[in-house]
Structure 1
């Protein structure tokens, strides 16, 4: 009866190396959301510098694990599979997000570039910003109710912080590193305009446009 070959001691370490970037990213997110860590440390340094480098090192380690597993797939295959899956997913995530951030995307968008809605509560955070248009996000050609605007904002994931008869303002905090986007819905006879602007200057992968589209979609359903 053939004996199973022992698992090389390096295989568990290679699998742990493949998982290390994900663990570091989760720790960076937790440090930002619950520990108040600065984004320059948690996002720029730990995630986009250290974890990204570790991701490629982990992928190289996963390939070594796969080669070692070829000699005994039954005994070593799970280690190799886990290492390749973890490292591949991490590297793919970084490449995908990097490509998304590289695409030009305005971080201050509005449905009315000639006369954009003006922030009140968050005015100081967006002073000097020039709003741009966003594809597929257009003004609502009717006067909605303030309650409908507030409801559309809440449905889009925003928290309303100011509401009046003709204007509603809100803020949206991202689920991962807590990047904040401010929104204002301006209500006028025959037209309702939207503006969404990011507080942070880092590339957002088109988040401002996607959030504006969510608001516009919610408002269009109230007509």
Structure 2
């Protein structure tokens, strides 16, 4: 087969795509640790995250422009660099893109509870919310109505055991889930904890209430509230579901 002369422009584009992808990957990866470990402002860290995504999409676009021939029989210089740019760029763009998709679908809720009429109170954790942009108080009826529409499955957990035994099980499940238990008040039937996301280090406060239910049972209500952000991207609801599943499995 006779190839036409290689296009030097395509070679330069391939190299540019590769460099952009190699820049985008660490920018996306470092955004979380900058906030969690170095205290970079949350919004600035998210901006870094977003700009990493822009760099990744630019690398993908340039990589595609280089890989796809513009003329029949044209030999593309830098083909390998363009393929690497596509691979690295797609990998770097995936995390921000998935966040964006979650944010688009998630409701504007950051405070989820199994009892919207009388949510478990944040007592100790309320004092730990320095710098939090969300008020520790429950948002009210509008949030409750939206939660019931979006998460109708989040209801109180019922166990056929005494509150004292239920308290022990709740405490055990909370520790198994990796939460930082900051308060145990058996006489009040209250456990409080803090959950920290692994990448950005975002913190959510959790309050669990154990009450007597009938002659021999217990009712457990849980509340999970984000310290920052108008939307929790569904994290609090999923946390409550996982907690309820594990708690019920302990008694099976």
- The answer to whether structure 1 residue 154 and structure 2 residue 175 are counterparts is yes
Determine the structure 1 residue equivalent to 2:185: 164
Q: Specify the alignment match of 1:67 in structure 2.
A: 68
* Structure 2: 5+ residue stretches without partners: 130-134, 214-218
Contact 2:15 2:82 in 1 (8 A): no
Deviation digits for residues 76-134 of structure 1 (CA, Å, limit 9, x no counterpart)? 44322221122233344433321211221521111111111111112354433326443
Alpha-carbon distance in 1 for matches of 2:21, 2:74: 21
Does the 8 Å CA contact 1:106/1:208 hold for their aligned counterparts? no
Structure 1: give runs of 5+ residues left out of the alignment.
Answer: none
Distance (Å, rounded) in 2 between the aligned partners of 1:71 and 1:189: 77
TM-score (norm 2): 0.75
- Provide the aligned C-alpha RMSD in A: 2.8
TM-aligned CA deviation for residue 202 of structure 1: 4.4
The aligned residue for residue 90 of structure 1 is 92
State whether structure 2 residue 113 is matched by structure 1 residue 110: yes
User: TM-score normalized by structure 1?
Assistant: 0.84
1:141 pairs, out of 158, 173, 189, with 158
TM-superposed CA distance for 1:10, in Å, is 4.5
Whether 2:230 is the aligned partner of 1:196: answer no
Q: Is 2:37 the counterpart of 1:34?
A: yes
C-alpha distance in 2 between matches for 1:53 and 1:40: 16
Structure 1 or 2, whichever has the larger Rg, is 2
Using the alignment, how far apart are the partners of 2:176 and 2:75 within structure 1? 52
The aligned length equals 219
Aligned to 1:46: 48
